[in-house]
Homo-oligomer: A and B are copies of this chain.
């Protein structure tokens, strides 16, 4: 056969910074990042902020304007866009369109920056808009929730939803920097604070027994909003997430996604609830379901299974919900399993637990065992309530 072989590799690198009060005028972190990037090209920076964050931090926009006033590395675009927080911003193309229009209006070029401040959904949506504008404008992430600081916000994915299907449209596009500012965590509601810890339970269960034990010891302190254990858990998770990306298949060309545990049902139940159930809350229930399934398929001991349920409960999570019920093949959650398979690329890959700290992948789930696991959790939940 007559052909030319093409082969090249592209290097991606970025830092995940940990700081407090990122936009306080004396905080050097952001500015030093810009300094490290400085080249002989005029650059602009367009900020997009989560409406929830703007609400709870009423001086934020002024703080940003003050921070960048007279900055020698970038020109701040004075019109800071504010978009609705939460999944709402991903369920329409309205906000990506708004960002693309701003890129056009303010002449934001490929070497300029689009910075997103907000929870995971806002980062996903803004990251997507940045990825497709001029074939990729440099994207900075400033995650403001526990969940985005310890997981999605430090990764390489972006996206929006399509006809209720999560992340149906999107790309793999690494950011150029991530700034984790713990001051944003102080204004989270208890639900939001807690929700993000589900991802910590997830990675601990499949990769790190020591971290799991630390979580059990610190569950009450975490629930009671102590900042030191929260910082520790965020940094440990972020590190594992970063290492997982660089050590594996960053753009998921294969079919394996080994840091996914409890997510197939979580994605679906979020959608079924009209996003009343938050992603982290859904993940906690998904973890519970797949943990109990791991027990019923003969892998995980009953003691370990009950310990996981206890940890989730100690952290304040509900471990199931009427929408998590699986009665037969036609249950909505089973439909979600098929959608997840399609999203992965045709071959189902689900992580289960061999033991605590050790996940293992399977390519098939038994619906009758799933049914049994869901019923077991419903029963437990009713017993706890009574």
Contact = CB atoms under 8 A, between A and B. Distances in A.
A332 interface: no
Interface residues of A, number: 70
Interface in A1-50: 1-19, 28-29, 32, 40-43
Nearest to A133: B169
Given A3-B18, A104-B165, A168-B104, A110 B343 contact: yes
Given A1-B29, A165-B104, A346 B135 contact: no
B5 A13 contact: yes
Interface in A237-277: 238-239, 242, 245-246, 250-252, 255
Interface in A145-186: 154, 157, 159, 162-163, 165, 167-174
A121 B342 CA distance: 29
A122 interface: no
A29 to B, nearest CB: 6
A372 interface: no
A100 interface: yes
A132 B14 contact: no
Interface string A264-303: 0000000000000000000000000000000000000000
Contacts of A246: 6-8
A6 B167 contact: no
A279 to B, nearest CB: 18
A42 B346 CA distance: 6
Given A135-B170, A345-B111, A6 B10 contact: no
B110 A4 contact: no
A159 B133 CA distance: 10
Contacts of A40: 347
Contact of A171 (B4, B15, B28, B132): B132
B10 A15 contact: no
Interface string A287-326: 0000000000000000000000000000000000000000
A172 B28 CA distance: 33
A188 interface: no
Please give the count of copies of this chain that the complex contains. 2
Interface in A327-354: 342-347
Interface in A106-132: 107, 109-112, 128, 131-132
A242 B13 contact: no
Interface string A340-379: 0011111100000000000000000000000000000000
A134 interface: yes
Nearest to A231: B2
Contacts of A342: 107, 109
A229 interface: no
A136 interface: yes
Contact of A6 (B14, B100, B131): B14
A135 to B, nearest CB: 5
A160 to B, nearest CB: 9
B251 A10 contact: yes
A371 to B, nearest CB: 25
Contacts of A345: 41, 109-112, 134
16 contacts: A1-B32, A2-B18, A4-B238, A4-B242, A7-B11, A8-B250, A10-B12, A10-B250, A42-B346, A109-B346, A110-B252, A110-B343, A110-B345, A134-B170, A135-B159, A135-B171
Interface of A: 1-19, 28-29, 32, 40-43, 100, 104, 107, 109-112, 128, 131-136, 154, 157, 159, 162-163, 165, 167-174, 235, 238-239, 242, 245-246, 250-252, 255, 342-347
